[in-house]
Amino acid sequence: MANTILVGAQWGDEGKGKIIDVLTEQADIVVRSQGGNNAGHTVYLGKKKFVLHLVPSGILRKRKVCVIGNGVVIDPVNLVGEIDGLEKMGIKMGSNLLISETAHLVFPYHRELDAQREVLKGKNKIGTTKRGIGPAYGDKAARTGLRVLDLLKPEKFAERLKAKISENNAILKAFGAKPLSYKKILADYLEAGRRLQPFVGNTVVYLHDACLANKNILFEGAQGTFLDIDHGTYPYVTSSNTTAGGACTGSGVPPHRMDSVMGVLKAYTTRVGEGPFPTENTELSDFLHGMGREFGSTTGRARRCGWFDAVATGHAAMVNGIDDLAVTNVDGLDTLDVVRVCVAYRCGGKRYDHVPADVDVLAQCEPVYVEFPGWKSDTSGARQWKDLPSKARTYLNAIAELTGARLSIVSVGPARDQTLFL
């Protein structure tokens, strides 16, 4: 497998959790390198459903080491809760989980500020997960954040936390929000630090040694390309680099160690939160929600749904350098008469073959569609490429060609065996 970066090629929720779980069979180490518990990776093992937020999905397989890299922002209390929840479901954690000592911490004031800023933005809100991700990365960039290693030095941590709480309470007061209790946060965080200490280490050196020992490393991306702070539909984005480059900076593994990039995409498009979405389609949304599909795994929000957008996925292939594609949720389209694919945008008499940087322009773009006949049969039982109806194969080949990468995996349901390798 060598070292593979896996990224979402749309707006997140592409079904990465399942693909990561399947690919992990061939990996020795799985690394999270950005985002925080805004992510929700859903994996089904038999009838058991696991939703992972911070712990890499590799934890569900034995003898795999899972690394939470330096680029991740960690809410330690939440992470302890996730570890406890997994242990209750029979997943043991010991030397198979490693947490970077330089990852930044998320605090309750980040969450509160996230919520207050959304209220202030009113109709221009981003639609965040309210997990405090933006304010936590804001502190990191402003060089005022606290890191995992600070948590392990109780006296100094207490002093720095006190200053942070008093500063943030003053800001929260200006918003008209309640002040936070320093004592409670200190107690909760020190306890979380005590619980996490056995897992904390220098993940950069660990991964460097793993590269020298020719271990196979899978970098599991969270969110998706168009939520990237630099390449996404700014400001309707998350606050980390969700694109392939983020795997290097967020783990300390240099670019020349990376062997390939896999892009995960749905056979249609979804987005949660606000922001432009050219192929959004109410009928398709109602149809998918009616099937019980497309509700967020972190916030439970109904996802906005639309047709496959090949302008967006082609753009994603460009910025990530995608070699291979994993197309998920093909079975979601099984009963449709016609399936549409956006091949260009039109705006003000101009044709766009790439995603315009200005969200005001993107919001006005009208999709140019080509239509494919629906395959009108159940694909969920397919186990090999040749089991798929020929119209489904034509559709999948077309979206791969339009995206500009090799079709390598097709997923027709949540189970591990509902995965077709080409």
Which residues participate in catalysis according to the annotation?
13, 41
29 contact partners, CB below 8 Å, separation of at least 6? 58, 64, 65, 66, 67, 207, 210, 215, 216, 217, 218
- Sign of the dihedral defined by the CA atoms of residues 128, 114, 249, 356, in that order: positive
What is the C-alpha separation between 249 and 142, in angstroms, rounded?
A: 17
Closest approach of ligand IMP to the CB of residue 238, in Å? 3
Is 223 or 411 the residue whose CB approaches ligand IMP more closely? 223
Report which of 103, 112, 118 is spatially closest to residue 35, judged by C-alpha positions: 103
Is 54 or 65 the residue whose CB approaches ligand IMP more closely? 54
What is the C-alpha separation between 399 and 268, in angstroms, rounded?
A: 10
Is 41 or 164 the residue whose CB approaches ligand IMP more closely? 41
- End-to-end Cα, the chain, rounded Å: 15
Closest approach of ligand IMP to the CB of residue 359, in Å? 12
What is the C-alpha separation between 99 and 312, in angstroms, rounded?
A: 33
What is the C-alpha separation between 420 and 258, in angstroms, rounded?
A: 24
What is the C-alpha separation between 228 and 10, in angstroms, rounded?
A: 10
Reduced to 3 states (helix: H, G, I; strand: E, B; else coil), residue 104 is strand
Is 119 or 187 the residue whose CB approaches ligand IMP more closely? 119
Is 287 or 295 the residue whose CB approaches ligand IMP more closely? 295
- At residue 376, what is the residue type? K
- At residue 345, what is the residue type? Y
Closest approach of ligand IMP to the CB of residue 117, in Å? 10
Closest approach of ligand IMP to the CB of residue 35, in Å? 7
Tell me whether strands 366-373 and 406-411 are parallel, antiparallel or unpaired. Answer: unpaired
Please state, in angstroms and as integers, the Cα–Cα distance from residue 5 to each residue in 327, 343, 402, following that order.
16, 26, 21
Closest approach of ligand IMP to the CB of residue 31, in Å? 17
Angle among Cα 330, 367, 295 to the nearest 5 degrees reads: 40
- At residue 228, what is the residue type? D
Block residue for tokens 């950005």: 34
The tokens for 130 are 């309210």
Closest approach of ligand IMP to the CB of residue 151, in Å? 22
Is 245 or 273 the residue whose CB approaches ligand IMP more closely? 273
Ramachandran region, residue 370 (left: φ > 0; alpha: ψ -120 to 50; beta: rest):
beta
Closest approach of ligand IMP to the CB of residue 274, in Å? 6
What is the C-alpha separation between 24 and 60, in angstroms, rounded?
A: 9
Which residues of the shown chain bind ligand IMP in the complex (CB under 6 A)? 12-13, 38-40, 126-129, 131, 133-134, 222-223, 227, 236, 238-239, 272-273
Tell me whether strands 308-309 and 338-347 are parallel, antiparallel or unpaired. Answer: parallel
What is the C-alpha separation between 99 and 326, in angstroms, rounded?
A: 28
Is 227 or 392 the residue whose CB approaches ligand IMP more closely? 227
The tokens for 288 are 């998918």
Angle 108-121/154-174 helices, nearest 10 degrees?
20
Closest approach of ligand IMP to the CB of residue 40, in Å? 6
Is 40 or 367 the residue whose CB approaches ligand IMP more closely? 40
